[in-house]
Structure 1
Amino acid sequence: MRTAKALLVGLCASLMIVLAPAAMAQLPDFTALVEESSPAVVNISTRQKPQAAMAGRGQLTIPELEGLPPIFRDFFEHAFPAPRSPDNQRRQEAQSLGSGFIISADGYILTNNHVVADADEIIVRLSDRSELLAELVGTDTRTDVALLKVEGKDLPVVRAGKSKDLKVGEWVLAIGSPFGFDHSVTAGIVSAKGRNLPNDNYVPFIQTDVAINPGNSGGPLFNLSGEVVGINSQIFTRSGGFMGLSFAIPMEVAMDVADQLKHSGKVERGWLGVVIQEVNKDLAESFGLDKPAGALVVQILEDSPAARGGIQLGDVILGMNGKQVVMSADLPHLVGALKPGDSARLDVMREGKRQTLKVKVGAAPGESGDAVAGKARGDGKRMENPLGISVTELTAEQKKMIDLETGVLIQDVYEGPAAMIGLRPGDVITHLNNQQVDSVKSFNTIVQKLPRDRSLSMRVLRQGRASFITFKLAR
């Protein structure tokens, strides 16, 4: 028995010795990739005139994100060092550090827009420590991509890959200048693809666990074949440092932007002219969907492609040009990838039936402020109802102010379903249970016929923003 046990222990030990090198052999060797690709990665520094530098000093903010407990921070912007004296303050120029990579032998370089924003001078340092002044060809704030040009020939270049071929769990590698340490290399895996981030509607980010820190911004993300598949851009953090959540702009998005900037100096992308929201379980039930999916249209801009193409309030867009819209944030990616004038075939759910619409997309307008509806007051007829609210007609002035033809204004909110879902005096109800609210009379008629104990939807306009909310009436 002892001999058998001894033999078994010896066999296990032998297997561990044999298997250990085999297991280690599964880990990738990045040395050849780094040696080949590093020369095309550059350090980018910028300078601002003292007046501009002082205007921005101390204004680095960390915004809170609604619904997310941590802080999402565009961490690559650096707080400028404080001056040592008033004289030094007048002479001092602000500097920021980032990364970039050369995409053509004649000197075109990709980086992030926020690395070079407001710069008066952009300096590119190559791997041989030589420095070149760069010209800013153009930027696109919506994708955070910037294209630079330096004078040169036969410069080392990266090989562009396709992020769509990436698989979750695949190894990737970053090269950049975190905290100014040139050509630092970090590695990790792809954590997710097509990730949607707040205020970034046009970029389906690649999420990784590659260590990214200030200075990596604008640097390349490589696959194991040595191809650039993304531009490292943002992190998700509580502390301001790396916490295992990094995000990169897909290379296809970046190269499309670079090509447009190179040839026309600006970026054009498709635009529908709708405001959308996520479809949750209750909304799905309300609109006759089997499961939560799609983008719910809550507002249509006047004279927009959506308005001309027959899209209606309450439509749930489930697909475009054969591609599914699973999350509402999928739609801006698909529309933005089109060029103005392109046709889009939209699969929508309308009043419980699937339909197909053909819409010609337009050009995305410039950024504009949200329309704000002032505090609306009216002296129309008030009436309480099962929702626990009193409503009144909108005056002609109020309709003009918020650009509406129909709807009713909430005057008071009492105890009941309306209070529980957060309705407030001043909100405007335009649709209820998938029916348009034309007046107080029609509103009351709809309310009296509301079914009990199932999900119902209501479209509400608050301070110029429309959204659908769901509720249930008890039996």
Structure 2
Amino acid sequence: MTRSENTTSVTKRHRKALLAGVFGLAIAGVVAGQFVPPANTPAFAQITTSQPAGTFSFADIVEKVSPAVVSVKVKKERNDQVAMGDDEGGLGGNVPPQIEQFLKRFGFGQGGPGGPGMGPRGPRGPGGRSVVGQGSGFIISADGYVVTNNHVVDGADEVDVTTTNGKDYVAKVIGTDPRTDVALLKIEGAKDLPWVKLSDTAPRIGDWVIAVGNPFGLGGTVTAGIVSARGRDIGAGPYDDFLQIDAPINRGNSGGPTFSLNGEVIGMNTAIVSPSGGNVGIAFAIPSETVKTVVAQLRDSGTVARGYIGVQIQPVTEELASGLGIKDAEGALVAQVQPDTPGAKAGLKSGDVITKVNGEAIKEARELTRKVGMMKPGTQVQLSVIRDTKPINVTLTLGQLPNDKVAGRSGGQDEDDGGPLAKDLPRLGLQLAPAKSVQGAGSEGVVVTGVDPNGAAAQRGVKTGDVILKVGDKAVSTPKDIRDGLAAAKAENRKAVLIQVKGEQGIRFVAISMDTKAKG
């Protein structure tokens, strides 16, 4: 061997030794740091490991938590032609329509890829028949309370659960919450069952996770990955706050748990995105915080009662922030305050921006919906609000969210807006008429009877039939009032002016840039 070859060989050996040492230290850090269980972790889930230094395995964790993971089998007597499961690659059974719509935005749908849903179809017969579907779940108490997805057990006449050691139990549906897709079951006559704890700590992006469930009816299946993202809104509902994970999840994993490295449940698997019908590394889990809050109410009363302020809100965009005269495009903008609600009684006003709830920052509008919706009616909360560019505090007691909400709708006939806008004001591109002059439009505001598709208002989503209620902070009843409001904003050197509009989706604010000039 030449001197050069010998030097190269020594260098490679040193490099390997260095890498092995670094890897060993990293793994030792994981084993020594992450595997120390908190004091309140269930006894059976205490994780210890005798793994040699420099090696790593999920085996110790899986051995401890798997006994608490169950396969959920549901049976329904049905007379229609819709089965609870679906053939290879389908959405699975009873997938919430909102999630299905989300998947279709990616080009997926029935007969194609979708959520994990339930397992394969069960036996079917003519007329009234038994339809069987399968999902996953996990035991959260020694006396047999089991958590799964609402869409797994929705409409079930009979529910059975099977543990990883093959024991079968009959379960009763205690309560369900379609808004968050959470359901609570109870194994009848159970005692001393193994159980797992819902985590009190949110995972970080990049943390290891382990998923255990019943994909395609193969109970006790274990996969691993990391947390890919947090706070995902997939359009499933107003309380979306999904964890995105890349641990392989497939049909039948719905309702199954995702564990952290200390053996606690950090989320419940609910949906996947899949062009092929199989796993491609994009799965969504309901955070343990949401599951814990919902389960507590289901356990107490079988239903979920949500907190309610009584305001319609919208996100604060950069343009809206400019129009409001505030620095940051954060918080929830109050578009409308419903009469005789907690918000109205506490003095909230249209145009207020809610920035904090009990001292916790509200970065975007849906955070307010989620935080308030997870609180019980009767809870007293303090809101930090920006009103007319000044911070104020508002204290109120939450009411109970009504089951049904109806959005107003307006219409009108085309009429001229009463004359061109001044040259130094924005050109809205609208034909307008007083609401009281348009049948069915009510007595407040100005109806949009025509829209120029190239105008500033059309670019902000204003449509024929919408009703303009305010320009800035002034109520309007004629087209002239709108021009006067634009002129006032111009005089105050505003970069944008806020227009309050009522349409099919309720009341919202629209920001019109003051730089959009009339063409003549």
Q: What is the SS of the residue equivalent to 1:168?
A: coil
Out of 44-53 and 413-422, give the one that drifted further. Answer: 413-422
Out of 62-71 and 409-418, give the one that drifted further. Answer: 62-71
Q: Aligned-pair distance for 1:345?
A: 1.0
Q: Cα deviations across residues 149-190 of structure 1 (Å, max 9, x unaligned)? A: 112444433331425342221111110001111010011112
Residue 75 (1) aligns with residue 111 (2): no
Q: Cα deviations across residues 364-410 of structure 1 (Å, max 9, x unaligned)? A: 11144x32415334879744433222211112885xx67x6631101
Out of 156-165 and 186-195, give the one that drifted further. Answer: 156-165
Q: Partners in 1 of 2:118 and 2:147 — Cα distance?
A: 20
Equivalent position to 2:481, from 412, 417, 442: 442
Q: Could you tell me whether the CA contact under 8 Å between 2:415 and 2:449 is conserved in 1?
A: no
Q: Cα deviations across residues 203-255 of structure 1 (Å, max 9, x unaligned)? A: 53222222111111111111111112221122244454433222222223222
Q: Could you tell me whether the CA contact under 8 Å between 1:391 and 1:412 is conserved in 2?
A: yes
Q: Could you tell me whether the CA contact under 8 Å between 1:270 and 1:364 is conserved in 2?
A: yes
Residue 44 (1) aligns with residue 72 (2): yes
Q: Partners in 1 of 2:104 and 2:313 — Cα distance?
A: 18
Query: What amino acid is aligned across from residue 498 of structure 2 in structure 1?
Result: S
Distance 1:327 1:248, change over 3 A: same
Q: Aligned-pair distance for 1:49?
A: 0.6
Q: Partners in 2 of 1:358 and 1:66 — Cα distance?
A: 40
Equivalent position to 1:376, from 412, 419, 429: 412
Distance 1:425 1:141, change over 3 A: same
Residue 210 (1) aligns with residue 247 (2): yes
Residue 429 (1) aligns with residue 468 (2): yes
Q: Partners in 2 of 1:323 and 1:245 — Cα distance?
A: 30
Write out aligned runs for 1:257-276 (5 A): 257-276=294-313
Residue 411 (1) aligns with residue 449 (2): yes
Q: Partners in 2 of 1:374 and 1:436 — Cα distance?
A: 17
1:455 aligned residue: 496
Query: What amino acid is aligned across from residue 445 of structure 1 in structure 2?
Result: D
Q: Partners in 2 of 1:43 and 1:421 — Cα distance?
A: 49
1:31 aligned residue: 59
Q: Aligned-pair distance for 1:201?
A: 2.3
Residue 185 (1) aligns with residue 222 (2): yes
Q: Partners in 1 of 2:409 and 2:255 — Cα distance?
A: 39
Write out aligned runs for 1:237-256 (5 A): 237-256=274-293
Q: Partners in 2 of 1:55 and 1:215 — Cα distance?
A: 15
Equivalent position to 2:393, from 356, 359, 367: 356
Normalising to structure 2: TM-score of the pair? Answer: 0.81
Q: Could you tell me whether the CA contact under 8 Å between 1:139 and 1:145 is conserved in 2?
A: yes
Distance 1:66 1:258, change over 3 A: closer
Write out aligned runs for 1:291-310 (5 A): 291-310=328-347
Q: What is the SS of the residue equivalent to 2:216?
A: helix
Q: What is the SS of the residue equivalent to 2:407?
A: coil
Query: What amino acid is aligned across from residue 369 of structure 2 in structure 1?
Result: P
Write out aligned runs for 1:2-401 (5 A): 3=3, 6-17=6-17, 19-20=19-20, 23=23, 26=27, 28-51=56-79, 54=82, 63-65=100-102, 75-78=115-118, 81=121, 88-90=125-127, 92-368=129-405, 370-377=406-413, 382-385=418-421, 386-395=427-436
Query: What amino acid is aligned across from residue 447 of structure 2 in structure 1?
Result: L
Distance 1:263 1:449, change over 3 A: closer
Q: Cα deviations across residues 429-472 of structure 1 (Å, max 9, x unaligned)? A: 11223433244332231134442882332222212522222222
Q: CA RMSD in A?
A: 3.2
Q: Partners in 2 of 1:12 and 1:55 — Cα distance?
A: 61
Q: Could you tell me whether the CA contact under 8 Å between 1:40 and 1:158 is conserved in 2?
A: yes
Q: What is the SS of the residue equivalent to 1:90?
A: coil
Normalising to structure 1: TM-score of the pair? Answer: 0.88
Q: Could you tell me whether the CA contact under 8 Å between 1:105 and 1:152 is conserved in 2?
A: no
Out of 136-145 and 297-306, give the one that drifted further. Answer: 297-306
Q: Partners in 1 of 2:251 and 2:120 — Cα distance?
A: 13
Query: What amino acid is aligned across from residue 411 of structure 2 in structure 1?
Result: K
Q: Partners in 2 of 1:305 and 1:182 — Cα distance?
A: 48
Q: Partners in 2 of 1:110 and 1:82 — Cα distance?
A: 23
Distance 1:78 1:110, change over 3 A: closer
Distance 1:65 1:215, change over 3 A: closer
Q: Partners in 1 of 2:334 and 2:473 — Cα distance?
A: 12
Query: What amino acid is aligned across from residue 64 of structure 2 in structure 1?
Result: E
Report % sequence identity.
34
Query: What amino acid is aligned across from residue 340 of structure 2 in structure 1?
Result: D
Distance 1:282 1:75, change over 3 A: same
Q: Could you tell me whether the CA contact under 8 Å between 1:124 and 1:133 is conserved in 2?
A: yes
Q: Partners in 2 of 1:421 and 1:63 — Cα distance?
A: 28
Q: Cα deviations across residues 16-66 of structure 1 (Å, max 9, x unaligned)? A: 155247527737421011111111111001111131564879897674449
Q: Partners in 2 of 1:258 and 1:418 — Cα distance?
A: 45
Q: Partners in 1 of 2:80 and 2:119 — Cα distance?
A: 13
- Matched residues, number: 468
Structure with a larger share of its residues in strand: 1
Distance 1:380 1:387, change over 3 A: closer
Q: Partners in 2 of 1:57 and 1:30 — Cα distance?
A: 31
Q: Partners in 1 of 2:256 and 2:170 — Cα distance?
A: 18
Q: Partners in 2 of 1:424 and 1:174 — Cα distance?
A: 47
Q: Partners in 2 of 1:120 and 1:66 — Cα distance?
A: 28
Out of 233-242 and 30-39, give the one that drifted further. Answer: 233-242
Q: Could you tell me whether the CA contact under 8 Å between 1:453 and 1:474 is conserved in 2?
A: no
Q: What is the SS of the residue equivalent to 2:127?
A: helix
Q: Aligned-pair distance for 1:109?
A: 0.8
1:474 aligned residue: 516
5+ residue gaps, structure 2, are: 28-54, 87-93, 422-426
1:465 aligned residue: 506
Q: Partners in 1 of 2:163 and 2:487 — Cα distance?
A: 72
Distance 1:64 1:340, change over 3 A: closer
Out of 381-390 and 308-317, give the one that drifted further. Answer: 381-390
5+ residue gaps, structure 1, are: none
Q: What is the SS of the residue equivalent to 2:3?
A: helix
Q: Partners in 1 of 2:63 and 2:119 — Cα distance?
A: 33
